[in-house]
Amino acid sequence: MNLAAKIFIFIASLTLSGCLEKPCKTHDFCPQPETAVRYFSVYKPGSWWVYETSDGSKRDSIYVSEYRVEPGQDGEDPCYAWEDQYYTCRTKYLTDIGEFHGVNGNLGSCNSSIFTIEERNKGIVGLYSFRNVDTLSNDVNGVKTVSPFYPKSGFDTIYKEVTIWDGTYFFSENIGLIQYASSDLDTFYMTEYFIP
């Protein structure tokens, strides 16, 4: 093999392997889909929610106790970047261990996002949103959206739109979790909240 052929093969292999690719000079910011922002941007420092059962015999609160933001990058096009939010919330009845961990991020792609709540690395809630789609979804089709939503508890609040996950967790846009069933099957209804 002559020298010109060897040089051609060497340059071709570098090009195909990506060694000659120029890094991004700047990253294009990729915002989360609007639906994810409306439902899940409320989980941030200083946010809290108070719940009680319909007979008032049990009260619970959820508050954000830890919060961090980490950069994320598109798996297919590294020139797109975003910020993923990770947080811990304290609660008495929502989980058996008194806390849950949440993630609100872009799923490795600029066109989608994920919101999860986990207890001991076991998923409790997993909801997805996609760009240009105005509803939330999950892998098992246990999600439905109701507009308007009237809680069965007798509380007089009417919610414009609520997404219900598996008949257990009820999320309202710009508020967060408004109703849930605890592990001992008590239903808790939100009575007040604060989002800074």
Domain membership flag for residue 44: yes
Q: Are the C-beta atoms of residues 113 and 138 closer than 8 Å to each other?
A: no
Work out the average pLDDT over 168-174. 90
Domain membership flag for residue 167: yes
Domain membership flag for residue 37: yes
- Please, which pLDDT band fits residue 48 given cuts at 50, 70 and 90? very high
Residue 47: pLDDT over 90: yes
Q: Are the C-beta atoms of residues 91 and 58 closer than 8 Å to each other?
A: no
- Closest by CA position to 187, among listed 61, 52, 49: 52
Domain membership flag for residue 62: yes
**pTM as predicted:** 0.76
Domain membership flag for residue 6: no
In total, how many domains does the chain have?
A: 1
39: domain range? 24-191
Domain membership flag for residue 196: no
What does the pLDDT look like over 133-163, one tens digit per residue?
656 666 555 678 888 888 776 667 888 888 8
pLDDT at 196: 93
Domain membership flag for residue 150: yes
